[in-house]
């Protein structure tokens, strides 16, 4: 729902400018790693990214232009998508076991080790 509210704000100025503005989102024009064809499919995947990293769309995107590659985080994310696909194809059953969330757990920077726990009581 929040996306649709946001897209209204984006689409209005775009309509005045060029072909880009459509509701629901039009087909993607600049995909280099994802293998999907429609706007709604892309948006569904993007929602998994925002949830996995605990960020908003503009962490990886230039505000108001999703096709632009000017935000360097987008290219990092492309590497992450390719890396995740690579990890999954190396599982014996070929199924998806690793997603962005598996590592990120709602954080931009995944943890390397568990949070420090209080020291064990003496005698244990």
What span, in angstroms and rounded, lies between the C-alpha atoms of 62 and 112?
30
- Minimum CB distance to ligand HEC smaller for 114 or for 121: 114
> Scanning residues 18 to 37, which ones bind ligand HEC (CB under 6 A)?
25, 28-34
Select the span of 11-19, 78-86, 88-96, 116-124 touching ligand HEC (CB under 6 A): 78-86
In whole angstroms, the minimum distance from the beta carbon of 51 to ligand HEC comes to 9
What span, in angstroms and rounded, lies between the C-alpha atoms of 13 and 63?
13
Residues 6+ positions from 68 with CB-CB distance below 8 Å:
30, 61, 62
What span, in angstroms and rounded, lies between the C-alpha atoms of 101 and 66?
22
Select the span of 11-19, 46-54, 88-96, 114-122 touching ligand HEC (CB under 6 A): 46-54
The CA–CA distances, whole Å, from 78 to 16, 74, 108, 118 equal 31, 6, 15, 38
Decide if residue 14 touches ligand HEC (CB under 6 A). Answer: no
Decide if residue 77 touches ligand HEC (CB under 6 A). Answer: yes
What span, in angstroms and rounded, lies between the C-alpha atoms of 62 and 93?
38
**Binding footprint of ligand HEC on the chain (CB under 6 A):** 3, 25, 28-34, 42-43, 46-47, 49-50, 53, 55, 57, 59-61, 66-67, 73-74, 76-78, 80-81, 84, 98, 100, 102-104, 108-110
């Amino acid at each position: 729902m929040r996306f649709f509210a946001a897209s209204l704000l984006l689409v209005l100025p775009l309509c005045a400018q060029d072909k880009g503005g459509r509701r629901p989102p039009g087909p993607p024009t600049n995909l280099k790693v994802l293998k999907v064809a429609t706007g709604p499919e892309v948006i569904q995947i993007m929602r998994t990214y925002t949830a996995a990293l605990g960020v908003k769309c503009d962490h990886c995107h230039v505000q108001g232009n999703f096709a632009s590659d000017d935000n360097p985080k987008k290219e990092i994310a492309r590497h992450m998508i390719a890396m995740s696909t690579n990890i999954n194809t190396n599982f014996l059953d070929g199924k998806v076991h690793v997603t962005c969330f598996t590592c990120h757990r709602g954080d931009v920077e995944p943890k390397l080790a568990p949070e420090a726990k209080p020291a064990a009581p003496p005698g244990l």
